[in-house]
């Protein structure tokens, strides 16, 4: 479900219920559960051994890796209250290519959404905010114009668990934002370009300690959802006034639920270039009323903030780190059913069975080279390919038989711009339209993005080569267009069709590949249950 069409109200859909035991799910199967429930299990129970330094390294290596990874983010969200978490959920779900950092001053994220009003348990949301509850599968009681969640903690814990489960989100809690990074644009306007951070405890003791310089995170867009005025509240908008980007704050007015929630959602916006503001922080800018213990506007302001952010991102190119991709190494890439390994002389006999000889001439119709009717000529071509660095040639070997059944190559390798092409795709009849063929394409792409560090993974083919163009689309490549009269091939004009996968698209493409390759996607006869396109539409 997408919230691009959430406001105004949609028809309510009751969240599905489940009868699966949480305990059974935890222990993954009845046999394991029976073992744990057996009293004798606890008589000999012990944890696996560990050394204290191992624990220390497990934490620190991961945390500092996260600091390094998110030092350059697409989006930074200040404040992990109900609005900030709702924003993070919608952004991370709709845009898996975005790198999203959440900065929360408290040890415990969630802001004031762990309880309702005056420390009461229940949470009230006016309609149409129940649509967001449906989206994250939080049950509620329908009271007509509003709904009630039995405990606010159910909403917050569910939302929080979903947000931090996204692979493109990192929550830095116990961390305060002390300032905003700004840049002067060509027209003289000031753009917010990131945040200045410090440990919260350090921020609280600047008056009585020293040597407390901060850290920084660059971002294309900053989203501030720090709440109304308070110790850390309305931080960003107060800073805008002190730096001269806003003349003054309107100041939050008294409580009026009827008008407050509409005003907060409608006015969620980019208040200055690079800074989107949502939630109760807006009331301090606009002089809107406070709403008290009703939380619908917090969730829907988060939804709108995500939309406003996506609009803002369109005008801000992503910063590209200044490093060169790696040259493809002549290493074996191992999968479940196949190996992709560098081309060697001993592969030539296997390859000749489907690439050499007059009977295989049709394999070379759309290639610059070939056909090879003579075995000696074919082996000479293999020797040349073994020595080649660009293209770098590989073969696909079935693990079960050790037989080479296909070819791939990396070519047009540009380490500086981090662009690489997959080509020389030639599959034997045994490999075509098989699970192994798709696995080979997955492994080759994964290696290019994750091991070698390329930004663009390209697929080119003759515009008349319909099977190749269809294969590119099936595998998740985006068709970019046709370069007319690109070259002359075997005495004939060639128009070239271009396709690509970008690094920002790879996480979603990878998820589709892995869902398709999962053994549960195949029946006992090895037939797929869902196609790549079906899974792509679902995921």
Distance CA 80, CA 173 (A): 8
Looking at the DSSP assignment, which residues form a beta bridge with residue 190? Answer: 184
Q: Which two tokens stand for residue 43?
A: 């008589």
Q: Does 177 carry a binding-site annotation?
A: yes
Q: Which two tokens stand for residue 100?
A: 């999203």
How far is CA 88 from each of CA 7, 93, 475, 506, rounded to the nearest angstrom?
18, 8, 29, 20
Q: Which two tokens stand for residue 212?
A: 């407390």
Distance CA 454, CA 412 (A): 12
Please tell me the total number of residues recorded for the chain in this structure. 539
Q: Does 213 carry a binding-site annotation?
A: yes
Q: Does 105 carry a binding-site annotation?
A: yes
Distance CA 129, CA 266 (A): 14
Q: Does 280 carry a binding-site annotation?
A: yes
Q: Does 407 carry a binding-site annotation?
A: no
Nearest residue to 221 (alpha-carbon basis) of 181, 185, 171, 175: 181
Distance CA 170, CA 459 (A): 33
From its phi and psi, is residue 491 left (phi > 0), alpha (psi between -120 and 50) or beta?
left
Find out whether 413 and 380 touch, Cβ atoms under 8 Å. Answer: no
Q: Does 151 carry a binding-site annotation?
A: no
Q: Does 423 carry a binding-site annotation?
A: no
Phi, psi of 108 (to 5 degrees): -105, 110
Q: Is the dihedral of CA 175, 182, 84, 144 positive or negative?
A: positive
Q: Which residues contact 239 (CB under 8 A, 6 or more apart)?
A: 179, 180
Nearest residue to 411 (alpha-carbon basis) of 425, 399, 421, 397: 421
Q: Where are the beta strands (DSSP E) in 154-189?
A: 169-173, 175-184
Distance CA 407, CA 425 (A): 6
Q: Which residues in 500-516 are b (16+ Cβ under 10 Å) and which e?
A: bbebbbbebbbebbebb
User: Residue 332: helix, strand or coil by DSSP?
Assistant: coil
Q: Does 112 carry a binding-site annotation?
A: yes
Long-range contacts of 329-332 (CB under 8 A, 24+ apart): 330/392
Q: Does 290 carry a binding-site annotation?
A: yes
Q: Is the dihedral of CA 104, 105, 110, 113 positive or negative?
A: negative
Binding-site residues for substrate sit at: 83, 104-105, 112, 177, 213, 228, 280, 290-292
Residue ranges of the binding site = 83, 104-105, 112, 177, 213, 228, 280, 290-292
């Amino acid at each position: 479900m997408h919230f691009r069409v959430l406001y105004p109200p949609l028809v309510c859909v009751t969240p599905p219920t489940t009868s699966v035991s949480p305990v059974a799910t935890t222990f993954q199967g009845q046999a394991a559960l029976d073992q744990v429930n057996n009293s004798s299990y606890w008589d000999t129970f012990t944890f696996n051994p560990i050394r204290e330094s191992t624990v220390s390294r497990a934490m620190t290596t991961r945390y500092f890796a996260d600091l390094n990874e998110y030092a350059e983010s697409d989006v930074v969200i200040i404040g992990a209250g109900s609005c900030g978490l709702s924003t993070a959920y919608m952004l991370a779900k709709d845009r898996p290519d975005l790198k999203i950092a959440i900065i929360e001053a408290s040890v415990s994220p969630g802001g004031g959404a762990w309880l309702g009003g005056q420390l009461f348990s229940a949470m009230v949301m006016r309609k149409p905010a129940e649509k967001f509850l449906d989206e994250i599968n939080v049950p509620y009681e329908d009271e007509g114009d509003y709904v009630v969640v039995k405990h606010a903690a159910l909403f917050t814990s569910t939302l929080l668990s979903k947000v931090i489960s996204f692979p493109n989100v990192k929550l830095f809690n116990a961390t305060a934002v002390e300032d905003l990074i700004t840049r002067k644009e060509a027209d003289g306007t000031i753009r917010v370009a990131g945040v200045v951070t410090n440990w919260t405890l350090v921020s609280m003791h600047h008056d009585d300690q020293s040597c407390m310089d901060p850290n920084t995170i660059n971002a294309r867009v900053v989203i501030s959802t720090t709440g109304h005025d308070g110790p850390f509240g309305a931080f960003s908008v107060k800073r805008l006034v002190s730096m001269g980007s806003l003349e003054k704050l309107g100041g939050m007015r008294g409580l009026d639920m009827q008008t407050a929630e509409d005003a907060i959602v409608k006015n969620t916006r980019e208040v200055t270039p690079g800074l989107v503001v949502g939630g109760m922080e807006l009331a301090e800018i606009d002089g809107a009323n406070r709403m008290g213990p009703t939380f619908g506007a917090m969730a829907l302001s988060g939804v709108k903030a995500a939309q406003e952010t996506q609009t803002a991102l369109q005008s801000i190119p992503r910063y590209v780190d200044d490093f060169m991709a790696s040259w493809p190494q002549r290493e074996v890439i191992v999968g479940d059913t196949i190996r992709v390994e560098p081309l060697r002389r001993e592969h030539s006999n296997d390859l000749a069975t489907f690439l050499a000889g007059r009977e295989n001439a049709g394999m070379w119709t759309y290639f610059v080279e070939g056909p090879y009717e003579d075995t000696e000529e074919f082996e000479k071509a293999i020797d040349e390919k073994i020595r080649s660095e660009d293209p770098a040639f590989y073969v696909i070997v079935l693990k079960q038989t050790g037989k080479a059944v296909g070819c791939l190559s990396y070519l047009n390798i540009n380490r500086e711009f981090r662009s690489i092409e997959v080509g020389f795709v030639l599959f034997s009849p045994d490999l075509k339209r098989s699970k192994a063929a798709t696995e080979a394409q997955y492994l080759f792409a994964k290696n290019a993005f994750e091991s070698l560090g390329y930004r663009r993974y390209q697929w080119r083919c003759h515009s008349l080569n319909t099977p190749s163009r269809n294969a590119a689309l099936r595998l998740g490549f985006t068709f970019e267009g046709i370069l007319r009269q690109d070259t002359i091939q075997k005495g004939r004009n060639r128009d070239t069709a271009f396709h690509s996968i970008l690094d920002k698209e790879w996480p979603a493409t990878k998820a589709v590949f892995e869902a398709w390759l999962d053994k549960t996607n195949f029946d006992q006869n090895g037939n797929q249950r869902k196609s790549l396109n079906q899974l792509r539409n679902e995921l």
